[in-house]
Structure 1
Amino acid sequence: MEKKLEGILSILDKLNSRINIVTKEDLDEQYENLEDFRDLSSDLDILLNNFSSINKDDGEKVEEMLFELHRIITTFEWHFSEVSDLNTKILKVYKDKINNA
């Protein structure tokens, strides 16, 4: 998924280079966030791999796992939301900008 997110950022970067709506800093920040996204993916892999070893009768351990899963899911949502915001900024003006150039 990281490569796909990086591909989306690459597309947005190329389109933005024609219209300059999104700042370079905003795009750079999202590229930097890709490392955090990779780490998050790794955290999820570890959680999924360790699930079978968790005692399902230990409410504390299950709750810890569920809280960690919640943290991972909401952080993924945040990453996608940030990229979606960039996409929306470009989407709102791209066609008009290139048609009026």
Structure 2
Amino acid sequence: MIEKLKTILTHLENLNNHVGGEIISKEELKEQHENLHDFKKLIESLDKLLEESKTVDYNNPDSIDNNLMNIHKLMTSFEWHFSEIDDLTVTLFKNYKDSLGK
């Protein structure tokens, strides 16, 4: 998944550069590339959590609550990362055509 996100970011960067780099700042693109390091850590955390979930005590409500809360936290973190890249995509979508006219 990380490679696919890198590919998307590279594509967005190429499109942005094609119109003079005026739509998305280099800093925003750099930040998203750096965020992929955190995304990798999230995947590792998810793998660990899924392994731990195999041994969760179904009769221990506190254990189940903790497990579900950790899943929720990871899922929202994944959503945030996708949302950040999608925001850049939408920005290009809304402005690319007009930028070609310059």
What interval of TM-score do these two structures reach, taking the shorter chain for normalisation? Answer: over 0.9
Find the aligned partners of 1:62 and 1:31 in 2 and give their Cα distance.
Answer: 35
**Which portions of structure 1, spanning 4 or more consecutive aligned residues, are displaced by more than 6 angstroms?**
none
Aligned to 1:36: 38
Aligned residues: 100
Q: Normalising to structure 2: TM-score of the pair? A: 0.93
Letter of the 1:73 partner, please give it.
M
After TM superposition, the score normalised by the length of structure 1 is: 0.94
* Residue identity matched to 1:56: Y
Give 1:96 shift: 2.4
Among candidates 85, 89, 95, match of residue 97 of structure 2: 95
- CA RMSD, 1 decimal: 0.9
Q: Does 1:10 align with 2:10?
A: yes
User: In the alignment, is residue 53 of structure 1 matched against residue 26 of structure 2?
Assistant: no
What residue ranges of structure 1 are gaps of 5+ in the alignment?
A: none
Provide the C-alpha distance between the structure 1 equivalents of 2:73 and 2:17, rounded to a whole number of angstroms: 34
CA separation in 2, counterparts of 1:5 and 1:71?
21
Identity of aligned residues (%): 40
Unmatched 5+ stretches in structure 2: none
Structure with a larger share of its residues in helix: 1
